[in-house]
Structure formats: structure tokens, C-alpha cells
Amino acid sequence: MHITQEHLQFWREHGYVIVDSFLSHEELRQARANMERYVPTWEEFCAAPERYPRIRSSGMVKAEFPFVGTALNDVTTHHDVTDAVERLLGTRQLHLTQSIFWAKFARTHDYEQELHLDYQNNTLVFPSDDERFQQVPMILYYDDVAEGDGPTYVVSRKYTDHLLHEVSHARDQVDERSLATFERLNVPSLDPSQFASVYEHEQPVIAKAGSLLVFTMSTFHRGSAICAASGRRLSHHIVYRAAGREWMGWLAWPRRGADPEMRDFVQRATPRQLELLGFPAAGHEYWTASTLAGVAARYPRMDMTPYREALERREPAVAGVIREG
């Protein structure tokens, strides 16, 4: 489902929005099939748990973009995702900072968390409310999530923004109370015994498979215990920000440059999908006859046409040399 203006308005007011059935049935089917390359089914896990020591010790399978196969990479760079982020951040210049999927398994681990914010390992500074400097974190659910399946809980920013305000002003005021809040929130998770009034407002994200939770780095949320006796919960965590805001991030994509998954992604992606990783756009000054030839040699199956045509428009003489070569 396309993310509507009403969804975006709800997000602005509350710091989160749930988009029901965001993925089509076919996209969902393909994404789940793609995940099977990494994650055993519940039945496979139960039949031979000793084959999966990582799941037994941490309760989790995690894998990061770029993924083997195509569906999860396409979901990460889905047009409806980037279109919504463009409208939220007010720019077309976006940068993907994170795309990780998690599989959690019943009866393996206590997934219960305290309400928290995610900014500590996603930015070097403090979350800003200025849309130009925000990040847009999202969670896509690949299974139906009912009350017993470890739903994410979220709290509307209406009930928590005063806490962030206290944190950001605590240093100016230097009174005992503000400093105590600052210290409590510096590791931004809320102890239920001290913040019971915030917990009263938390809402479980009960969602159909294919639904999307869009939130902010200032939105308190938490993972919760899987109470169901069986099953797994597959979720995909994606974060975008505007390009050029280097204080926010997770990892540098070139670090994965030599991996076959990245080579496959680069060779089948559109220029727009590649831009989301920081790849120079067609028409960018980076492109010359020699960089074009170098990139084409590095990725033999990549369609260089958009880059070559943009260069021809910019520097017809150079393009002539390329054609002759």
C-alpha cells in the first residue's frame, strides 16, 4: 500500500505510524522466500536445534544488506519506502544507513526490552526535530504479529517529548533533578518502575504480515517477549536519512564492496537504487571516460547506458572517445 499523506501526518504528530499491508502479497511471498536462505523454518529448527547454536544462544538470526537474492534488496530500496522518506525529509537526496533482518524464535530467549530510543548507535549527536536532520527508522513485519508473538510497543511522542526536552536542557540548568534525568536518559531506556506513567501509554504494534512501522529516533519503543509456544517472528529494520549528514549512520557500504552480494546488487540495481547507497548519480562530475571504463570493468554486467548518456550530454567530445574505445 502506498504511504498516504494521512499516514505522514500521523507520524508527524505521534512519532510513529503503522502502514497496514504495505507489501503486496507477491512482494511478501518473495521476501519470505528470500529469508529462507538464511533462516530455518520453525519446524526445521525444532527438528534439529543443535544445528543452530547461534539461535540457541542468542535467540536470533540477523543478516544485513546487501542480501543474497533480490527480494530483500528490492524491499530495502522499495519505491514506496523512498517516496515516503522523501516526503518526510523534504529531499530526494536520500541515504540508506541500515537494512537488517532479524528472526526471533519462540522458547529460545527473553526478548523483553525496556522502552528506549535507538539514537545512541545511529548518530554521533542528539536527534533533531528539524526534518532536514532526521532519520527515518522503519520495521517491516514478515509474519502476522499478534499479542503473543512479541509485538513491538511504541509510545506516542505526545507522552514523551517532555523527557527529551528535559535531557537537552539539563546541562544548562544544572540542578539536581535535571541532571538526574540526564543521567537516566543518557542511556536512553526507561526503567518501568520510574516511568510507569509512560508505560501506561504504550501500544502494541499488532500487525498483519507485510505491514510497516515507521517511527523516529525520538520515539520510545521496545521489543517484547514472545509468549506463544511456537513459531518465529521475521522483521526487517531499515533506516534512511538525507544524504550528506555524515554524523548519522550505521556502517559504510563500501566496506561490503568486495562481497558477491554487493556485486550482484550493483549489477542489477537502477541508478536510483545505487544513489541510495551513495553511488555517484548519472551526470555527476565523478564520471569521466576513465571512471566509466573502470566501473564497467569492475561490474561487467552493469548497464552503463544512463551514465554514458549523461556524460555524452555533459562532454560530447569525451563521449566520442569512449565510443571509439
Ligand X SMILES: O=C(O)CCC(=O)C(=O)O
Binding site for ligand X (CB under 6 A): 118, 152, 221-223, 235
Tell how strand 60-64 and strand 94-105 pair up: antiparallel
Collapsed DSSP state (helix, strand, coil) of residue 161: helix
Helix (H) or strand (E) holding 240: strand 232-242
Instruction: Quote the least distance from Cβ 135 to ligand X, whole Å.
Output: 14
Instruction: Quote the least distance from Cβ 301 to ligand X, whole Å.
Output: 36
Taking a C-beta distance cutoff of 8 angstroms, is the pair 210, 23 a contact?
Answer: yes
- Angstrom distance (rounded) from CA 252 to CA 277: 9
Tell me whether residue 232 or residue 263 sits nearer to ligand X (CB atom). 232
Taking a C-beta distance cutoff of 8 angstroms, is the pair 256, 66 a contact?
Answer: yes
Tell me whether residue 223 or residue 249 sits nearer to ligand X (CB atom). 223
CA-based nearest residue to 299, from 289, 288, 291, 310: 291
How many helices (H) and strands (E) the chain has is answered by: 14, 11
Instruction: Quote the least distance from Cβ 279 to ligand X, whole Å.
Output: 29
Instruction: Quote the least distance from Cβ 272 to ligand X, whole Å.
Output: 29
- Angstrom distance (rounded) from CA 141 to CA 239: 15
Tell me whether residue 7 or residue 221 sits nearer to ligand X (CB atom). 221
Instruction: Quote the least distance from Cβ 325 to ligand X, whole Å.
Output: 51
- Angstrom distance (rounded) from CA 319 to CA 325: 10
User: Any idea what DSSP says for residue 253?
Assistant: G
Tell me whether residue 23 or residue 139 sits nearer to ligand X (CB atom). 139
Helix (H) or strand (E) holding 213: strand 212-215
- Angstrom distance (rounded) from CA 161 to CA 201: 13
Instruction: Quote the least distance from Cβ 163 to ligand X, whole Å.
Output: 17
How do the residues of the chain divide into helix, strand and coil, expressed in percent and rounded to 5? 40, 20, 40
CA-based nearest residue to 279, from 258, 297, 315, 252: 252
Tell me whether residue 74 or residue 143 sits nearer to ligand X (CB atom). 143
Instruction: Quote the least distance from Cβ 152 to ligand X, whole Å.
Output: 3
Tell me whether residue 222 or residue 241 sits nearer to ligand X (CB atom). 222
User: Any idea what DSSP says for residue 82?
Assistant: H
- Angstrom distance (rounded) from CA 111 to CA 113: 6
Instruction: Quote the least distance from Cβ 5 to ligand X, whole Å.
Output: 26
Instruction: Quote the least distance from Cβ 92 to ligand X, whole Å.
Output: 29
Tell me whether residue 202 or residue 275 sits nearer to ligand X (CB atom). 202
Tell me whether residue 73 or residue 224 sits nearer to ligand X (CB atom). 224
Cell of 9: 501526518
Tell me whether residue 249 or residue 265 sits nearer to ligand X (CB atom). 249
